């Protein structure tokens, strides 16, 4: 059952082969059986999931049933969910019960999907390994001694292990695509503004974007169809019609122009990962695509720019967590200053504190022009690099991550090395472009991801390009044996 696609499961629900209650119970049983080894869920909402499944079954019988009706999914614990703890992986929000639904949650509820629970994540989405969570690290289903990637590592691990059909994630600098690559699943970061950020707890407001994490591009299309759309409550959401993402997913790729940035295939890239990516590129050549070398000359500046812009925005966004209105509050504060200091000191973990300090410094008097303003100027140049590249090619491809999954604890004390895990994904967020990662040939049993980058609002093209490779190969069908 857990190996079936959304389309197959939806067909089974409509034919009466099984009910949503039976399907939901199957996944709840798998979570109960396997998640102790993975730690992919923070909260399991079994009772409400079965109640929602009963409603879904009634909708299916009545004939008034959207495409995702009765499909069990999970949501990253960064999306506010009415009546459910929304922790953002932090002690700061360990006791926070959201009083409303995020825009994404509302849309998925309207689609008829069933939420199994909330998935673990790096604290406030800050991390590339899912080791910064207050609830402990998530483990990779392919090898539980390895990280799943982050910050959406809980969602990636849950999908890869078959604990849910699909999950939501968020991507600020690669946090959907990098864990998708390390766990061997499909992850899509839409164009900035394509999916509502309302009720998605902010890390870096000009970079954060929600998206789907699934087994296949076809499943990602189903999820994005439900998630995308204008939300007047989000000032960064774009009022643009949502296309039918499944309509052209089978289109022929003959004549497609693929750009390979020379900067993505240099020093730092594992030779084995490069070979797997080249095999995928060869498959596209066999399908009639044209492959050309391009240049993104400011690629090496993406990481330093990101680690000025993102911490600066994080410093501002996290100022609200002060122990006064909601979230963690220290015991017996002596005065207001002590309340602020101890509540924030106790509530935030080391990585979050590090980024707050960096961001506050970059925004301080005398340093704003030297750091934050300069970073925004270079960010514009990075966007220009992509704009020029898309005058020559239809999509850009390369590795999602420079290596396969690394051991838990291997980079925990080396933040710079950890930051470089996102070296190929960060520029996409700085430019606001859509990008996705799909599985290609594994290396020594470890998943490898191919990154596909498109022009603004070209998610349909990305899904088409990804789907055609998945129809021609079986790399995306590999499953971790321990969770079969």
Q: Which two tokens stand for residue 178?
A: 């990098």
Residue 277 counted as domain residue: no
Sign of the dihedral defined by the CA atoms of residues 293, 213, 237, 228, in that order: positive
Pair type for strands 72-76 and 114-119: parallel
Which pLDDT does position 326 carry in this prediction?
92
DSSP conformational letter for 100: S
Give yes or no: 175 in active site. Answer: yes
Q: Which is the catalytic residue, given 40, 106, 152, 175?
A: 175
Residue 203 counted as domain residue: yes
Same domain, yes or no: 72 and 200: yes
For position 474, which CATH number holds?
A: 3.90.1300.10
| Number of domains making up the chain | 2
Q: Which is the catalytic residue, given 76, 118, 411, 441?
A: 76
Same domain, yes or no: 346 and 412: no
Residue 89 counted as domain residue: yes
Same domain, yes or no: 182 and 42: yes
Q: Which long-range contacts (CB under 8 A, 24 or more apart) does 46-51 make?
A: 46/116, 46/117, 48/84, 48/115, 49/24, 49/114, 49/115, 49/116, 49/117, 50/21, 50/24, 50/25
Same domain, yes or no: 431 and 361: no
Same domain, yes or no: 82 and 17: yes
Same domain, yes or no: 129 and 182: yes
d(CA 235, CA 206): 11
In a 13 Å sphere around the CA of 456, the CA atoms on its Cβ side amount to 12
Name beta bridge partners: 452: 397, 436
Residue 292 counted as domain residue: no
Q: Are 117 and 45 in contact (CB under 8 A)?
A: yes
Question: Model pTM?
Answer: 0.97
Its domain, for residue 88, covers 6-256+392-483
d(CA 153, CA 159): 10
Residue 216 counted as domain residue: yes
Which pLDDT does position 190 carry in this prediction?
98
Same domain, yes or no: 94 and 178: yes
Same domain, yes or no: 420 and 344: no
Between helix 46-62 and helix 6-15 the angle, nearest 10°, is: 60
From residue 400, alpha-carbon distances to 117, 220, 347 in Å are: 28, 17, 32
Return per-residue pLDDT of the chain as tens, 484 residues. 899 999 999 999 999 999 999 999 999 999 999 999 999 999 999 999 999 999 999 999 998 899 999 999 999 999 999 999 999 999 999 999 999 999 999 999 999 999 999 999 999 999 999 999 999 999 999 999 999 999 999 999 999 999 999 999 999 999 999 999 999 999 999 999 999 999 999 999 999 999 999 999 999 999 999 999 999 999 999 999 999 999 999 999 999 999 999 999 988 999 999 999 999 999 999 999 999 999 999 999 999 999 999 999 999 999 999 999 999 999 999 999 999 999 999 999 999 999 999 999 999 988 999 999 999 999 999 999 999 999 999 999 999 999 999 999 998 888 878 888 899 999 999 999 999 999 999 999 999 999 999 999 999 999 999 999 999 999 999 999 999 8
Same domain, yes or no: 68 and 187: yes
Residue 267 counted as domain residue: no
Q: In terms of residues, how long is the chain?
A: 484
Q: Which is the catalytic residue, given 151, 155, 276, 460?
A: 151
Sign of the dihedral defined by the CA atoms of residues 401, 405, 410, 413, in that order: positive
d(CA 287, CA 258): 12
Q: Are 437 and 178 in contact (CB under 8 A)?
A: yes
Residue 435, Ramachandran bin (φ over 0: left; ψ between -120 and 50: alpha; else beta): beta
Q: Torsions phi, psi of 16, nearest 5?
A: 85, 15
d(CA 369, CA 161): 47
Which pLDDT does position 484 carry in this prediction?
85
Which pLDDT does position 366 carry in this prediction?
87
Of 351, 378, 405, the position where a domain reaches its end is 378
Q: Are 191 and 433 in contact (CB under 8 A)?
A: yes
Of 378, 413, 435, the position where a domain reaches its end is 378
Of 326, 343, 378, the position where a domain reaches its end is 378
Q: Are 151 and 125 in contact (CB under 8 A)?
A: yes
d(CA 228, CA 196): 7
Which pLDDT does position 23 carry in this prediction?
98
From residue 347, alpha-carbon distances to 134, 344, 350 in Å are: 9, 5, 10
Q: Torsions phi, psi of 105, nearest 5?
A: -65, -45
pLDDT tens track for 19-71: 999 999 999 999 999 999 999 999 999 999 999 999 999 999 998 899 999 99
The C-alpha torsion from 180 through 183 and 186 to 187, rounded to 10°, is -20
Same domain, yes or no: 440 and 372: no
Q: Are 50 and 21 in contact (CB under 8 A)?
A: yes
Same domain, yes or no: 167 and 91: yes
Same domain, yes or no: 63 and 138: yes
């Amino acid at each position: 059952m857990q190996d079936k696609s959304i389309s197959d499961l939806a067909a089974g629900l409509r034919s009466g082969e099984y009910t949503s209650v039976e399907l939901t119970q199957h996944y709840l049983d798998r979570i109960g059986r396997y998640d102790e080894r993975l730690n992919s869920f923070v909260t399991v909402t079994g009772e409400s999931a079965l109640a929602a499944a009963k409603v879904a079954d009634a909708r299916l019988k009545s004939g008034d049933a959207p495409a995702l009706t009765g499909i069990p999914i999970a949501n990253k614990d960064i999306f506010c969910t009415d009546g459910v703890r929304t922790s953002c992986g932090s002690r700061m929000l360990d006791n926070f019960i959201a009083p409303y639904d995020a825009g994404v949650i509302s849309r998925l509820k309207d689609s008829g999907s069933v939420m199994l629970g909330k998935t673990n994540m790096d604290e406030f989405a800050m991390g590339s390994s899912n080791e910064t969570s207050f609830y402990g690290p998530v483990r990779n289903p392919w090898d539980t001694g390895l990280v799943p990637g982050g910050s959406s590592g809980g969602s990636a691990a849950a999908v890869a292990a078959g604990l849910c059909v699909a999950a939501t994630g968020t991507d600020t600098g690669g946090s959907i695509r990098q864990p998708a690559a390390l766990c061997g699943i499909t992850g899509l970061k839409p164009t900035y503004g394509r999916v509502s950020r309302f009720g998605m707890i902010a890390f870096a407001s000009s970079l954060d974007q929600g998206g789907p994490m699934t087994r296949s591009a076809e499943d990602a299309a189903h999820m994005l169809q439900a998630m995308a759309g204008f939300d007047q409550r989000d000032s960064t959401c774009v009022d643009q019609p949502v296309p039918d993402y499944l309509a052209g997913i089978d289109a022929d790729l003959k004549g497609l122009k693929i750009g390979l940035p020379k900067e993505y295939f240099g020093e730092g890239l594992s030779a084995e990962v490069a070979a797997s990516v080249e095999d995928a590129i060869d498959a596209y050549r066999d399908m009639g695509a044209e492959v050309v070398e391009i240049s993104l000359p400011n690629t090496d500046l993406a990481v330093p720019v990101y680690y000025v812009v993102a911490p600066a925005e994080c410093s501002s966004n996290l100022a609200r967590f002060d122990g006064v209105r909601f979230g963690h509050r220290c015991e017996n504060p002596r005065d207001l200053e002590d309340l602020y200091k101890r509540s924030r000191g106790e509530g935030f973990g080391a990585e979050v504190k590090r980024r707050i300090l960096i961001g506050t410094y970059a925004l301080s008097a005398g340093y704003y022009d030297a750091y934050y303003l300069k970073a925004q100027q270079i960010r514009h140049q990075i966007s220009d690099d992509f704009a020029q590249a898309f005058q020559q090619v239809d999509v850009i491809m390369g590795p999602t991550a420079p290596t396969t999954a690394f051991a838990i604890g291997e980079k925990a004390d080396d933040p710079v090395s950890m930051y470089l895990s996102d070296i190929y994904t960060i520029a996409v967020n700085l430019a606001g472009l859509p990008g996705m990662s799909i599985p290609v040939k594994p290396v020594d049993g470890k998943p490898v991801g191919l990154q596909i980058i498109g022009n603004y609002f070209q998610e349909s093209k990305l899904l088409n390009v990804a789907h055609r490779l998945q129809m021609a190969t079986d790399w995306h069908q590999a499953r971790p044996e321990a969770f079969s």
